[in-house]
Chains A and B, each alone.
Chain A
Amino acid sequence: MKLASLKLASYFSRASLRTKLALVALVLLALPWAGYEYVREMERFLLEGEEQALLATARAVATALHDRPGLMRARPSRDDDLLREAEEELRRLAAERGEAQPEPGAEPAPIIDREEAAAKNETEEIGEILRAVERSTARIWVVTRELRVLALAGSLRREEGGAEETLAQRVLGLLIPRPSEDFDDAIDDDALAAGREISGALQGRPGFRLRNTPDGKAVVISAAHPIWNGDEVAGAVVVEESTNPILSVRSQALERLLVLTLAAFAVAAAVLIWFATRISTRIRQLRDEAETAIDGRGRLAHLVTAQDAGDEIGDLSRSFSAMLAKLSQHHAYLESLASRLSHELRTPIAVVRSSLENLKPAPADARVYIDRAEEGLKRLGTILTRMSEATRLEQGLASFERERFDLAAVVSGCVEGYRLAYPHQAFDLALPQKKSWVQGSPDLAAQLLDKFVANAVDFAAAGRRGEPVRISLSVANGMIELGVENKGPPLPEEMRGKLFESMVSVRGERRGEGTSAEPHLGLGLYIARLIAEFHGGDIHARNLASGEGVAVSATFRSA
C-alpha cells in the first residue's frame, strides 16, 4: 500500500505540469456534488413550505365548516356503503389498467354523491365551499368522525405539458428521472383508517404526513385539520397534494445544474489546459534558452524569454539573467586574468632582470647562476607574452583593417618559412590552380597557419618521425579550406569539441615525451579559431580515418 502510494507520488512528480494541472482540475468535480446537495436542501425547504400551505388550506376550509352541525350531520344510508365500496374498487382497477381517467381533474366534481335526497343539499353546500378554495393540483375532502367522506374536490394530477421533448432533454431524462403523472390517486382505505394526520385531526390536532400512492409511483402530502362543532370535533378537512410539482422543479434544477456544471467544467478545463500549456511552454522556452545561454566559445548570452513578465517565470528569467551576468563577469575576469597577470608580473620580472643586470661585472663562478636565472626569466617572459596574446588579438580584431589578398600566396610563403624553421620536418603542400582571394588580414592568416603548423610539427614529432606534415588549400562552395594533417597520436575523444576553447590543451600528460621546450597554455588553437571567425569561417579538428593522425582545418570566406 505504502509502496503503491510512493509509486503514485513518484509518477505524479514526473508528470508534466499540464498533466498535474489537469489532475488538480478534477477538484472541480466537487462543484456538482455541492450543487446536488443544495438542490436537495431546496427540495426539503419546498416540501416544508408545501406542508404549511396545505395545512393553511385545510385550516381555511375547516374554518368555513366550523360550528355548522347541520352540514356534518348528513348521513348516507348504510345500504349504500357496499355499493360505494364496489364502485371504488372498480375505479381503482380501471386506473391500474391504465384506462382513461375516470375523474377528469379539470372539472372538480364530487366523486361521491350518494347521499340521501335530504342530505343532498348539505353535501352540495360543502362542495361549494370546497370549490371555493380549490387548488389545481390539490384534492380536498371532508370526512366525518366515522371516516365517511362527505365531499371531495380537485385532483392530484397535473395536466401534462404537451411540449415535445428534445433529444437533449430525453438524454437528460435518462440521467435524472422526472416525476410521472401516471400514478394511482385512489384514496386508500388505509389512508383513511391508518392516516396519522386524520386520526390526529379527529382528535383535535391538525397535522400532516407524507404517504406513498398505492402504486408507489408518487408521494403525496396530506394535511388534515379538525372541524370544530363547539368543543367537539365534527370531522376533518383533508387536503392532499402530490409532491410532483416539487419533484419536477427539483429535476429541472438538477438538469440545469448538470448542464451548467458540465459547461463550466468544460470551460474551466479548457482555460486551465490553455493556461498550463502556456506556462509550460514558457518554462520550456526558458529552459531551452538557459541551456544554450553559454555558447561553444564560453560566451554568455542574455535571456530574453519572459524577461519583462511580472510573474514568477519573469522572476526566474531575471534571476537566471542575473546569474548569467555574474557568471559572465567571472568569465570575463578569468579571460582577462591571463593578460592582467602577465601585466602585473612584468614589473617584478623587471625588478629581477634589472637587478641581475646590475650584477653583471661578477666573478666567474657567480656568472653561471646569473645566466641560469636570466634563462629562467626569459622563459617566464615568453609565458607572459603568450598569455596576453589571445586577449590582445581579441581586442585588436575589431580594429583590424581588412584587405583582399591571395591566401595561396600567403600559404606558400609561410611553408617556405617553415622549411627553414623546422629543418628536420618534411612538408607537403597542395595548392589550387587559381588564386584564392580572401577578404581579411594576411598577417592573421599567417598567424593561424603558424599555430596549426606548430601543433602539427609537435605531434608529428611525438608520433612517427619522417612522415611529412600535409598542408592543403581547396575551394568549395564559396569557402576556402586550409587543412593541415599530421601523423601522430589521435585526439582524445572527450577533447573533440573543446579543443578550440581558451586554455584547453591535450598536451598535459604528454609533457614528458614532448620535444618542445616552449610553454603551452592551450591558447594556440583558440587564437586560430578567432582568426578563422574573423575571416567569416570556422575551424575543425578530426582524427584521420586511419586513426594514425589528426587533421585540423580552417575555412575562409572566398572574396
Chain B
Amino acid sequence: MPRRIAIVEDDAAIRANYADALRKHGYEVSAHAARGEAMGAFRTRLPDLAVIDIGLGEEPDGGFTLCRELRALAPSLPILFLTARDSDFDAVSGLRLGADDYLTKDVSLPHLLARISALFRRIDALREPKAAEEVLERGALRLDAKRFAASWKGRPVGLTLTEFWMVHTLAKFPGHVKDREGLMRDANLVVDEGTITSHVKRIRRKFAAVDPAFEQIDTVYGMGYRWKA
C-alpha cells in the first residue's frame, strides 16, 4: 500500500509540482490549499506524513497553527515544514512546535524526496525495534542512522533530521575539517553559511543540555568544523 503524503501549500503551481513529483515516486498525495480544508481532511483520515508551508493564504502563520493542531491529533506523525521563510526565528519556532524538519523552498526535489524517505525510514525503524541497526559510535556519541536517533553518554539527544545529518557527517571522520559547503551537501541543505553557523550552534546547545561539558564540535575559522578525535 503506497504511503500517503499531505501537502498543505497555498501556491497552486508549487503544490501541483510537488504533488506530481511525489506521485512519480510512488507516493499517494493529497494536496490542500488552506488550513481549514486540510484540518478537515486530516480529521477524516490521517496521512502518513505532512509537508506544510508556514504562510497559508490569508494566514501568515497558518502553518504553525496547523502544525500544533496536527501534532495534538497525531503525536508521532512526521511533519516537515517547507517554506520560503529562512529566518532563524521561524525555523526555531517551527521545530519547537514539534515539526521533524524545517526546509526552505531552495531545496531541490531530490533533496526533498531524500528527506521524506529518511523520515519514513525513521518511522519504520521505530515501529520495528528489533530491526538491524546502522550504528556509528564515536566515544560517548552513538548515532543510529536507521532511526535517526542520537545519544551522548547514553542519554538521547533530540536532533532534527538536518542536525542529525550534520553530526553524522562530522563524526564520520573525526579530526577532519568539514567545510560549510561539504556540510551542506551531506546534510542535503541548501542554505547560506550563516544558517550553517546557527545550525551548529543549535546542535552544540542540544548536546550541552545533556552534558554541560560538551565541547566536541570545534570551529576552524575560515574553514569549517570538525569533530574532535
Contacts and interface: CB of A to CB of B under 8 A. Distances in A.
Interface of A: 343-344, 346-347, 349-351, 353-355, 357-358, 381, 385, 388-389, 392-393, 395-396, 409-411, 413-418, 420, 442-443, 445-447, 449-450
B87 A392 contact: yes
B84 A347 contact: yes
A347 B14 contact: yes
B84 A413 contact: no
A449 B222 contact: yes
A360 to B, nearest CB: 8
B20 interface: yes
Contact of A442 (B110, B192, B219): B219
B17 interface: yes
Nearest to A445: B221
Contacts of B124: none
Nearest to B196: A443
Interface in B42-101: 84-88
A488 to B, nearest CB: 22
Contacts of A445: 221
Interface of B: 11, 13-14, 17-18, 20-21, 24, 84-88, 104-106, 108-110, 179, 190, 192, 194, 197, 219-223
Nearest to A446: B221
A346 B222 contact: no
A416 B17 contact: no
Contacts of B190: 381
A358 B221 contact: no
Looking at chain A's contact residues, the main secondary structure is helix
Among the interface residues A351, A388, A416, which one has the most CB atoms of the partner chain B within 10 A?
Answer: A351
Contacts of B221: 409-411, 413-414, 417, 442-443, 445-446
Contact of A346 (B84, B108, B194): B84
B220 A346 contact: no
A393 B198 CA distance: 12
Contact of B14 (A343, A354, A442, A447): A354
A348 to B, nearest CB: 8
B222 A357 contact: no
A385 B21 CA distance: 26
Contacts of B179: 417
Contact of B84 (A350, A353, A393, A395): A350
B80 to A, nearest CB: 15
Contacts of A349: 105-106
A173 B157 CA distance: 108
14 contacts: A347-B105, A351-B13, A354-B14, A354-B21, A357-B108, A358-B20, A381-B190, A392-B86, A410-B221, A411-B221, A413-B223, A414-B221, A417-B222, A443-B221
Given A396-B88, A417-B222, A417-B223, A351 B11 contact: yes
Contacts of B220: 413, 417
A545 B31 CA distance: 65
Nearest to B18: A354
A380 B219 CA distance: 30
Given A350-B84, A351-B11, A417-B221, A381 B106 contact: yes
B84 A414 contact: no
A14 B225 CA distance: 68
Nearest to B224: A417
A389 B222 contact: no
A357 B223 contact: no
Contact of B223 (A343, A351, A416, A443): A416
A358 B109 contact: yes
B20 A350 contact: no
B108 A353 contact: yes
Contacts of B192: 385, 389
List 9 tightest A-B contacts by C-beta distance, closest first. Answer: A414-B222, A417-B222, A354-B17, A413-B221, A346-B84, A350-B105, A357-B109, A351-B13, A417-B223
B49 to A, nearest CB: 18
Among the interface residues B20, B85, B220, B221, which one has the most CB atoms of the partner chain A within 10 A?
Answer: B221
Given A353-B108, A358-B109, A415 B222 contact: yes
A343 B90 CA distance: 13
A385 B85 CA distance: 12
A358 B17 contact: yes
Contact of B194 (A354, A355, A381, A392): A392
Nearest to B17: A354
